Amino acid sequence: MAPHNDIILFHYPFSPYAKRVIWYLTLRGLEYAQCIQPAALPREDLNALGVKYRRIPILSIGRDIYCDTRLILQKLEEQFPSGTLGALEPDKKAVEKLLEKWTIDGVFPRAAQVIPPEMPLLNDPKWVKDREDYMGRSWAKEDIIKGRPEAHVHLREAFELLETTLLADGRHWVLETEKPSLADIEAIWPFCWLRGMEGALPPALFGKDNFPKVHAWLDRFSGALKAAKESAPKVTSLKGAEAVQYITQAEFNESNREVDALDPLALKSEQDVESWPIDSGFNHRDRGQLVALTRQEIVLKSQTKVGHKDVHIHHPRSNFRIRAVSGGGELKL
């Protein structure tokens, strides 16, 4: 049974992006259910919901399905306003957003290049093929080995930036808050992921002697998460069919149907469109009728394959593309 707030998180346990959302939910103490997905495609549960977007995690609230952690965290801040983790002051909000962009667009692509070549998954042809479809580049073991030194150069620069700027004055948290904030989550997630992966970061380059403040921050964050887990609601685990049934029987979470009349793309409400990410996972596109289009968000109406119920699929505007298609799915010329 899904929790009273209708949150269901679709993820697999070792996804670094899923950790961003799980940590947020844990630190907030928000009740949620999870539906564990395969690490590689296909993901039949999401297919049953009419979702083509291939990245993990995905979060549903009722029949609204939210894609991309940038949008998911924003929605959790908006939909559950009591006890949010986000900054209130404009200058601190700016730091928060800049850290989001820095880690997602800058740090993580380099972090993914230092996965230890001896990892068993790199010997699995299905996994390698799936990662190549996801990232649009080679995941052959020899190419990973070749690219690791350059990636370590860029990651050492990222560690240095944290050590000598944001954490230089000895503060416990990025925005000098009493506990971890959203800014900490935005900044810390790829570094936590790297430190937890044996063989990813050579100690001679990235050890505690090199970056003591960064490691102390990582340790504090782990401690804060451990403490939050002890008091957080128990996570309910749903099988795929249970999650799909719950969503198809739920109500919509949002009623926004605003289509920005000044948007440069000049799309119209109920127009047939397709939307997809352009940074990774770009071979998989959601299609449907346009429900809402704002400066921050794209909302499409799709239909589940089980029960044939309408669902609303939400994408962020950042690093996503939307364009008109004909009702049959062909591009309008």
For 64-101, the pLDDT digits (tens) are 999 999 999 999 999 999 999 999 999 999 999 999 99
Please check whether residue 189 is in contact with residue 16, taking contact to mean a CB–CB distance below 8 angstroms: yes
User: Reduced to 3 states, what is the DSSP secondary structure of residue 49?
Assistant: coil
Residues 151-201: tens digit of each pLDDT: 999 999 999 999 999 999 999 999 999 999 999 999 999 999 999 999 999
What sign does the CA torsion over 323, 325, 329, 333 have?
Answer: negative
d(CA 149, CA 147): 6
Measured CA to CA, the distance from residue 140 to residue 137 in angstroms comes to: 9
Structure tokens at 100: 């989001």
Amino acid 330: pLDDT: 42
Mean pLDDT in the chain? 95
